[in-house]
């Protein structure tokens, strides 16, 4: 009787593993590719040849008049703050180019940073801003964050940086 229950349990385990593995074929394939690439980078023999990805051509500078950022600063140091504090900094810029400047997107490196920015086109000679708010909740110690601004400038992206030291909350 005991031998029969062990076999039944083994059969259930095998079936459940087989059923759940079908759902994650894409994830398994990606993991295998990453493991292969890691082995290649570490100098070991890869168990599977990495899939060739088509080479992406570098973007070319658009022709014609372009806008241009002139930032007051692209870096900021909040100094030392306490865990749980929310701090804000405004990065100011002027369009010193030859066409209206349009910020297409502002992407923070972390969910702890919330950006807002000038949404309307900034005329030649006009000024705009990118405001970042950093929420230090759950982010103790040294923090170095970036915010990537994508616009109709050349180059298309500008990286803004800020740093702070977050004093851990007392437990």
Q: Model confidence over 93-152: pLDDT tens digits? A: 999 999 999 999 999 999 999 999 999 999 999 999 999 999 999 999 999 999 999 999
22, two tokens? 């079908």
> pLDDT tens digits for 68-100?
999 999 999 999 999 999 999 999 999 999 999
Q: DSSP assignment, residue 17?
A: H
The reported pTM is 0.66
From the list 100, 128, 132, 102, the residue with the least C-alpha distance to 115 is 132
Q: Which residue matches tokens 């040849």?
A: 49
pLDDT above 70 (res 164): yes
For 33, the token pair is 């590719």
Nearest to 33 by CA among 53, 19, 56, 54: 53
Beta strands 141-151 and 127-135 are unpaired
**How does DSSP assign the chain, residue by residue?**
-HHHHHHHHHHHHHHHHHHHHGGGHHHHHHHHHHHHHHHHHTTSPPSSPPPP-PPPPPPPPPSS----EEES-SEEEEEEEETT-EEEEEEEEEE-SSS-B-EEEEEESSTTEEEEE--SPBPTT-EEEEEEEEE-TT--EEEEEEEEEEESSSSSEEEEEEEEEEEPPP-
Position 64 pLDDT exceeds 90: no
């Amino acid at each position: 009787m005991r031998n029969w229950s062990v076999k039944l349990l083994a059969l259930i385990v095998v079936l459940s593993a087989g059923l759940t593995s079908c759902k994650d074929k894409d994830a398994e394939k990606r993991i295998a590719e990453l493991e292969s690439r890691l082995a290649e980078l570490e100098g070991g023999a890869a168990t599977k040849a990495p899939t060739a990805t088509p080479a992406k051509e570098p973007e070319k500078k658009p022709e014609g008049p372009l806008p241009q950022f002139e930032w007051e600063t692209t870096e900021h140091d909040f100094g030392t703050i306490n865990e749980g504090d929310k701090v804000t900094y405004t990065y100011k810029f002027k369009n010193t180019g030859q066409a209206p400047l349009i910020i297409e997107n502002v992407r923070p490196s972390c969910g702890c940073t919330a950006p807002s920015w000038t949404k309307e086109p900034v005329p030649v000679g006009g000024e705009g801003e990118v405001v970042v708010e950093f929420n230090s909740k759950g982010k103790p110690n040294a923090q170095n964050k970036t915010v990537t601004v994508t616009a109709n400038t050349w180059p298309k992206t500008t990286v803004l940086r800020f740093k702070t030291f977050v004093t851990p909350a007392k437990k």
